[in-house]
Amino acid sequence: MGESAVNLRPEGTGRVVTFTPNPSIDRTVVLDAPLARGEVQRTVSVTEQAAGKGVNVAKVVAESGVTAEAVLPFGDKAYLEMLDADLPGRMTVAAAEVSHRPRTNTAITEPDGTTTKINESGPTLSDDDLASARDALVRAAEGADWVALSGSLPPGAPVDWYAQLVSALKPLGVKIAVDTSDAALDAVLDALPEASFDLIKPNSDELAQLTGGDAAAFEAAASTGDVTDIVAAAARLRDRGITNVLVTLGGSGAVLVNADGAWHAGAPKISVRSTVGAGDSSVAGFILADVAGRPPAECLTTAVRYGSAAASLPGTTLPTPADLPSADVSVTDLPLPN
């Protein structure tokens, strides 16, 4: 399993497009002691990079040998120069012809890997800005294998913008992943089954939000290896029109439910250094395995390996195949609820 997850597909085949509706400059502050509120502390390091959840997915995909294009709803010279300086060889960027200053997101990372995030709202987009962004995305998506819609919505965007974008993309025949949260996540579910799509990646809190479950109970049970209620909740989302429901559970691994069955993958043992980008890396891992034609259980294990690799790296560092855990990931076939 470990070897196959590294060489997923020969370079030059497959194409993935991502969309980041609210791109950011990610500023990571690393401390040498636990965060002390109200006190003065020194930093070990401070780094900045052009980012955003869709940008992260595209970087991981491209570093793994599959062509990726990151679409942005607006351009900014400083942001694009910063992004270009750190661009993998198989990755390109397309920005709608609209100019805005992106937000700055600050992550404060403590020695044990605990990360506190402070995120700005981002620029307000007009109706014309939104239309330009949609058109840029649809143009880029033609002929792609997957499109990943990732992250929060910017001010000015309707809460159901993701559902609108899914409807605009579906005639192209691409597979679509949606990874968002809060009201935008609720709106995506409200648009089902008409705006059905192919992958969602809730964590335990988001699964509870979408299904009326108890996040704390999900996590407590998963820590003992019992994911029965998580599978049942994920199956309800699948039945509403989502092809693959990938529930990430941190140190308890992840669960995948689709029409073929349900699986639980344990997480490899790692030292957590920063959780920034772990979810995006999981999405990228799943997509990479699917583009390579791998079965669902291997898509799940590859998602877990990429997410775990990201969590083992400092700051906002994203994993390459060389960073993946060497240990195999154990997978258990699970019964689906009646």
Report, as residue numbers or ranges, the catalytic residues: 280
Q: How far apart are CA 69 and CA 188, in angstroms?
A: 23
- pLDDT (tens digit, 9 = 90+) per residue, 20-66? 999 999 888 999 999 999 999 999 999 888 989 999 999 999 999 99
- pLDDT (tens digit, 9 = 90+) per residue, 126-161? 999 999 999 999 999 999 999 999 999 999 999 999
CATH number at residue 88: 3.40.1190.20
Q: How far apart are CA 176 and CA 217, in angstroms?
A: 30
8 A C-beta contact, residue 34 and residue 61:
no
pTM for the predicted model, two decimal places? 0.89
The domain in which residue 263 lies consists of: 2-334
- pLDDT (tens digit, 9 = 90+) per residue, 196-242? 999 999 999 999 999 999 999 999 999 999 999 999 999 999 999 99
**Count of structural domains within the chain:** 1
Residue 70: phi and psi, rounded to 5, are -95, 120
R_g of the chain computed on alpha carbons: 19
Token readout for 250 is 């941190």
